[in-house]
Structure 1
Amino acid sequence: MTVTADQTDILALAREQVLDGGIGLDRSQIEAVLRLPDERTPQLLELAHEVRMRWCGPEVEVEGIVSLKTGGCPEDCHFCSQSGRFLSPVRAVRLDIPGLVAAARQTVVTGATEFCIVAAVRGPDAGLLAQVRAGIEAIRADPMTAEVNIACSLGMLTQDQVDELVEMGVHRYNHNLETARSHFTEVVTTHTWEERRETLRMVGAAGMEVCCGGIIGMGETVQQRAEFAAELSEVDPDEVPLNFLIPNPGTPFQDYPVVEGTEALRTVGAFRLALPRTILRFAGGRELTFGDLGAEQGMLGGVNAIIVGNYLTNLGRPAQQDLDMLEELRMPIKALNRTL
């Protein structure tokens, strides 16, 4: 007989189902975790850390990101200061190839194994793909950056574009679902959740690793937060970047409250119990939501990857501060292991 979340203590159930069995929580179980009282959050984080250690191991994957094209995006993602539809301070600029290589070199210095090239577009045109190709060739030609794994985040793709990125040697593709399917139209109206999901399907089928996450704190309910985690589990991504809303000036979400720290930590733990084998990455908004102490608690609560440095249009904390934190926590940085 299947035991449901309301028939027993949810953390006892998760210990048996997730820690011992490696089976992620379902939607109703995730919701039960998200509704735990604050005083049980430390117990949740301890279990989430055990799950991470058993099913992912102790290593932390470090990644740096760079914006190849910033601002001027035609889409209306309500959280994003790069949309050309909003009166945000961000203006459209492009990074040249030497600048791209310089960013890759800075990333490698931190010990990162992943370098993600990002563009604020609905989807890439021929000119942008040509620039990405030239950038990848330049990064591969530099002895310092030749070995780093290259990821891309270029919006929605066609099958031909997917095939072209595979041919370029792109290791992983990021395309976030952003939020629960039932909440998506409250966040974006210029394209659909289904369009994003189709890009992810093509990326996975082509053999690239799938990176898919979203943003917590965009007005979703607890039920929708659980729905989102369950939908990500169905995608079965290699990596889930977990962002927390930064209420950027000039965007429709500029007055939204910052997610409270304990609630955010509980969300981290719940996502780990939903996705026991997935790379769960601390991404944008963690400094604002958690502060320094919360970052450490998150790393001990199921997170096993981190973006170092800045986040596109928002500043992060210095990379060395994160590297020092990992050293203090005795968490080894994942080494590069590429087959050439």
Structure 2
Amino acid sequence: MTATSETSVAELTGILGVAREQVLERGEPLTQEQVLAVLRLPDSELDDLLALAHDVRMRWCGPEVEVEGIISLKTGGCPEDCHFCSQSGLFTSPVRSAWLDVPSLVEAAKQTAKSGATEFCIVAAVRGPDARLMAQVAAGIEAIRNEVDINIACSLGMLTQEQVDELAAMGVHRYNHNLETARSHFPNVVTTHSWEERSETLRMVREAGMEVCCGGILGMGETLEQRAEFAADLAALVPDEVPLNFLNPRPGTPFGDLEVLPAVDALRAVAAFRLALPRTVLRFAGGREITLGDLGARKGMLGGINAVIVGNYLTTLGRPAESDIDLLGELKMPIKALNDTL
């Protein structure tokens, strides 16, 4: 990537010195404009950028890595038109609607815990949960708690205040609801609901005392300016966790023909988001395998990431859990213990 004509390479690379003083030394996140300068850095500065992001992660988050597994309770048939998602019932994507029973949820939680994970997230492809789904979640959480010592998170779409209160009463540790992309780009990604509707769910979750997990997907046709805007949107939210996904174009979706984000751009974004969110759990999520490969995953872990989803994702395959655990061992990054996440 080359610098823009309006900005010299010297001015761009100077952002690293600014970030070292502002973020590493003082713990103050980069502004939207500063994040944009980072995203415009030439490839020749990538290694220095990743090293700085790693230093920031180590100073403000520590060496531990939070490991999470996810499971789909209700798959496919979603009425929303999120253009990246093969679970939408509006597209010709090959994902059939299906429900997972409670014993299968418990078994998945057990296997997740065996991998060393401290977080198990129950996900459903819905606009928001109905009574049947809430009852299934409640039964699943109770059954898991009886057999597995693990934090339980949920991702069930947009919520009402009553549903937020119910999940909090169930003991849900963290709620995931991604903003997906910058506010200005959101209408190009989803048309059946608004960015503001998602934001309202996050507000209620925070006020109910649950941890907020909110991230998105990079590589959905957003500009660098919008990528920087998205980092600023997330920083303003002050989430406990930000999962960073990279678009894995799914056949039959409106984004099925988009090109995979180049690895250098993905790594630059990882580091930029770390500098915008110095104290946040920044998690490698979907698409990292196709975007970064094994070498890129290693670079990302040394470039600001301090959490991973292990195993498969909702509709795409991930790396084997053992591969990620082995990588953490090679990098001498301890897995965060359960009592450190409570």
Tell me, yes or no, if structure 1 residue 58 matches structure 2 residue 63: yes
| Counterpart amino acid of residue 103 in structure 1 | A
For residues 12 and 21 of structure 2, the distance between their equivalents in structure 1, rounded to whole angstroms, comes to 14
Residue equivalent to 2:249: 247
Picking from 128, 135, 142, the partner of 1:137 is 142
Please state how far the C-alpha of 1:317 moved relative to its aligned partner: 1.2
- Residues 237-274 of structure 1: per-residue CA shift (max 9 Å, x gap): 00000000000011000000000011110000000000
For residues 285 and 13 of structure 2, the distance between their equivalents in structure 1, rounded to whole angstroms, comes to 33
For residues 17 and 250 of structure 1, the distance between their equivalents in structure 2, rounded to whole angstroms, comes to 44
For residues 238 and 124 of structure 1, the distance between their equivalents in structure 2, rounded to whole angstroms, comes to 23
Please state how far the C-alpha of 1:277 moved relative to its aligned partner: 0.1
> Which SS does the other structure have where 2:327 is aligned?
helix
For residues 54 and 325 of structure 1, the distance between their equivalents in structure 2, rounded to whole angstroms, comes to 21
Conserved 8 A contact 2:157-2:177: yes
1:1-340 superposed matches below 5 A: 9-142=14-147, 145=148, 147-337=149-339
For residues 273 and 6 of structure 1, the distance between their equivalents in structure 2, rounded to whole angstroms, comes to 18
Moved segments of 4+, more than 4 Å: 5-8
> Which SS does the other structure have where 2:185 is aligned?
helix
For residues 7 and 96 of structure 1, the distance between their equivalents in structure 2, rounded to whole angstroms, comes to 53
TM-score normalised by structure 1 residue count: 0.96
> Which SS does the other structure have where 1:17 is aligned?
helix
- Report how many residues are paired: 333
Conserved 8 A contact 2:118-2:341: no
| Counterpart amino acid of residue 192 in structure 1 | S
> Which SS does the other structure have where 1:311 is aligned?
coil
> Which SS does the other structure have where 1:280 is aligned?
strand
Conserved 8 A contact 2:13-2:41: no
Please state how far the C-alpha of 1:339 moved relative to its aligned partner: 9.6
- Residues 182-203 of structure 1: per-residue CA shift (max 9 Å, x gap): 0000000000000000000000
> Which SS does the other structure have where 1:116 is aligned?
strand
- Residues 276-304 of structure 1: per-residue CA shift (max 9 Å, x gap): 00000000000000000000000000000
Residue equivalent to 2:4: none
For residues 272 and 194 of structure 1, the distance between their equivalents in structure 2, rounded to whole angstroms, comes to 24
For residues 220 and 10 of structure 1, the distance between their equivalents in structure 2, rounded to whole angstroms, comes to 22
Which runs of no fewer than 5 residues in structure 2 stay unpaired? Answer: 1-9
> Which SS does the other structure have where 1:111 is aligned?
coil
For residues 149 and 8 of structure 1, the distance between their equivalents in structure 2, rounded to whole angstroms, comes to 41
Conserved 8 A contact 2:13-2:45: no
For residues 321 and 340 of structure 2, the distance between their equivalents in structure 1, rounded to whole angstroms, comes to 24
For residues 214 and 191 of structure 1, the distance between their equivalents in structure 2, rounded to whole angstroms, comes to 16
Percentage identity across paired residues of the two chains = 74
| Counterpart amino acid of residue 225 in structure 1 | R
> Which SS does the other structure have where 2:181 is aligned?
coil
RMSD over aligned CA atoms reads 1.3
Please state how far the C-alpha of 1:141 moved relative to its aligned partner: 1.0
For residues 272 and 129 of structure 1, the distance between their equivalents in structure 2, rounded to whole angstroms, comes to 34
> Which SS does the other structure have where 1:67 is aligned?
strand
Relative distance call for 1:50 and 1:163 in structure 2 (3 A) is same
> Which SS does the other structure have where 1:9 is aligned?
helix
Please state how far the C-alpha of 1:169 moved relative to its aligned partner: 0.3
For residues 141 and 271 of structure 2, the distance between their equivalents in structure 1, rounded to whole angstroms, comes to 36
Please state how far the C-alpha of 1:214 moved relative to its aligned partner: 0.1
Relative distance call for 1:320 and 1:339 in structure 2 (3 A) is closer
